[in-house]
């Protein structure tokens, strides 16, 4: 294994570009999958050593597993982090991280346009733990500055945000958060480490649903958290107590997905940019959100902190929900599905699912998601086929 610095593309592809990988026993090219929940110690001292070093060598799979550890080290390298942890889902990564760093009575400042279940978990923290949460429009750093207090423990950001694709200035907001003594956590699910590096921009924690672009094939449920060794140790303790560790087989599938991550991100982002251009030229489109499209209000920030525009496009039509239904009905093959980030192009209308008004009250109106708003996850199919199907939908709503 070479000791020279490797590019992120090579780190993603090569199974052994990690400390645990280089120490493998049997020189397999692919990472081995150990289907066991526990390991034997030759004697009591060795068993005690396994217990102390379980993340690397294995003791009990809830605490750590060799296959999972290879994936964790690879993600840490991609994120530019000292360490990372894998979880059974993206929400497990989010909830465990927040539980690890917050106590009753603490204050949190959070962007108001977050993933629906993240908003619901903050509501739970407020109700069950007495955590005080102030939601602000973090696209304007002044709103964050006014909301931060001496007892603010966490500044929680999501960029690009789900589903409205707000772009937040991570570097500027991290500086504000640290000045107030807050830990800065960034959900980067809509970007991922080959598109955006929150830690390099000043964040303390980068987390995401690894079910999405990292795994990439809609067959793995996983989440990951990356940060300093000290922060990850705190989160690991909470994970060990609450139990949402990632199944080893899912870790192996995640490693396989990472091998094609550079190719997928490159191809899918190129198609997404073409889709944004197509939609931006259509007069029936009343709102378009793609980070690298000139019309996006955060376009300049996105160009500065993202390596490409990513794979997610959101938009709305003049005429609202009725127009959206005609558009969707005219599509021939793009499926309706509630998740994102895989090789499949999928479409969701969020206000009919996880952002329904009865779930988050007035917050959907607060971040200006118009009726019939569409979230499109652009996949790895032929770009011409994707554009042609969207053109069929656009023709139907122009008629």
CA distance between the termini of the chain: 60
Query: Which pLDDT does position 12 carry in this prediction?
Result: 87
Name the token pair of 287.
């709102």
pLDDT, one tens digit for every residue, the chain (399 residues): 455 678 888 888 876 666 666 555 567 788 889 898 888 888 888 888 777 765 555 678 898 888 999 999 999 999 999 999 999 999 999 999 999 999 999 999 999 999 999 999 999 999 999 999 999 999 999 999 999 999 999 999 999 999 999 999 999 999 999 999 999 999 999 999 999 999 999 999 999 999 999 999 999 999 999 999 999 999 999 999 999 999 999 999 999 999 999 999 999 999 999 999 999 999 999 999 999 999 999 999 999 999 999 999 999 999 999 999 999 999 999 999 989 999 999 999 987 765 555 554 455 556 678 999 999 999 999 999 999 999 999 999 986
* Nearest by Cα to 370 from 396, 344, 351: 351
Query: Which pLDDT does position 1 carry in this prediction?
Result: 46
Residue with tokens 């969207």: 390
Count of CB atoms situated within 10 Å of the CB of 295: 13
Complete edge-to-edge strand list for the sheet that includes strand 346-348: 285-289, 312-317, 374-377, 346-348
Residue with tokens 């999405």: 212
Q: For the chain, which residues make up each domain, given as ranges? A: 8-259, 261-398
Name the token pair of 105.
């009575």
Query: Which pLDDT does position 36 carry in this prediction?
Result: 87
Largest CA distance in the chain: 77
Q: How far is CA 217 from the centre of its chain?
A: 15
> Which CATH number does 261-398 carry?
3.90.1150.10
Query: Which pLDDT does position 29 carry in this prediction?
Result: 82
- How far apart (Å, rounded) are the C-alpha atoms in residues 332 and 127? 45
- How far apart (Å, rounded) are the C-alpha atoms in residues 379 and 201? 28
Taking phi over 0 as left and psi of -120 to 50 as alpha, with beta for the rest, 218 belongs to left
Query: Which pLDDT does position 360 carry in this prediction?
Result: 47
Query: Which pLDDT does position 57 carry in this prediction?
Result: 59
CA R_g for the chain: 21
Residue pLDDT, tens place only, 62-72: 988 889 999 99
Residue pLDDT, tens place only, 124-144: 999 999 999 999 999 999 999
Burial code of 49-75, b = ≥16 C-beta within 10 A, e = fewer? Answer: ebeeebbbbbbbbbebbbbbbbbbbbb
Residue with tokens 């091998």: 259
In CATH, 8-259 is 3.40.50.11540: no
- How far apart (Å, rounded) are the C-alpha atoms in residues 352 and 349? 6
- How far apart (Å, rounded) are the C-alpha atoms in residues 324 and 330? 10
Coil, strand or helix: which one is 158? strand
């Amino acid at each position: 294994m070479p000791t020279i610095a490797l590019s992120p593309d090579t780190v993603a592809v090569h199974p052994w570009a990690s400390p645990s990988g280089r120490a493998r026993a049997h020189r397999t090219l692919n990472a081995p999958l150990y289907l066991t929940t526990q390991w034997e110690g030759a004697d009591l001292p060795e068993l005690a050593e396994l217990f102390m070093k379980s993340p690397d060598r294995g003791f009990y799979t809830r605490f750590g597993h060799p296959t999972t550890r290879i994936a964790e080290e690879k993600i840490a390298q991609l994120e530019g982090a000292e360490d990372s942890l894998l979880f059974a889902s993206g929400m497990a990564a989010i909830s465990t991280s927040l539980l690890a760093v917050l106590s009753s009575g603490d204050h949190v400042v959070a962007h108001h346009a977050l993933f629906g279940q993240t908003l619901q978990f903050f509501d739970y923290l407020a109700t069950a733990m007495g955590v005080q949460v102030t939601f602000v429009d973090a696209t304007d750093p002044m709103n964050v500055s006014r909301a931060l207090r001496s007892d603010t423990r966490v500044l929680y950001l999501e960029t690009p945000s789900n589903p409205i694709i707000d772009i937040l200035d991570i570097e500027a907001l991290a500086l504000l958060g640290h000045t107030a003594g807050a830990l800065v956590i960034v959900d980067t699910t809509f970007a991922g480490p080959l598109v955006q590096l929150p830690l390099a921009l000043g964040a303390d924690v980068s987390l995401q649903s690894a079910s999405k672009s990292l795994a990439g094939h809609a067959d793995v449920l996983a989440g990951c958290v990356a940060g300093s060794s000290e922060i990850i140790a705190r989160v690991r303790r909470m994970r060990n107590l609450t139990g949402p560790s990632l199944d080893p087989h899912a870790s192996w599938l995640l490693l396989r997905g990472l091998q094609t991550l550079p190719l997928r991100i490159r191809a899918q982002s190129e198609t997404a940019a073409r889709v944004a251009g197509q939609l931006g030229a259509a007069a029936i489109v009343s709102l378009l959100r793609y980070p690298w499209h000139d019309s996006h209000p955060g376009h300049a920030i996105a160009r500065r902190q993202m390596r490409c525009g990513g794979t997610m496009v959101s938009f709305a039509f003049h005429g609202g929900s009725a127009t959206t239904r005609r558009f969707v009905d005219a599509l021939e093959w793009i499926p309706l599905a509630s998740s994102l980030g895989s090789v499949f192009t999928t479409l969701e209308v969020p206000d009919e699912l996880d952002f329904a008004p009865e779930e988050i009250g007035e917050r959907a109106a607060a971040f200006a998601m118009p009726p019939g708003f569409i979230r499109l996850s652009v996949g790895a199919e032929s770009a011409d086929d994707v554009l042609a199907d969207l053109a069929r939908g656009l023709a139907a709503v122009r008629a």
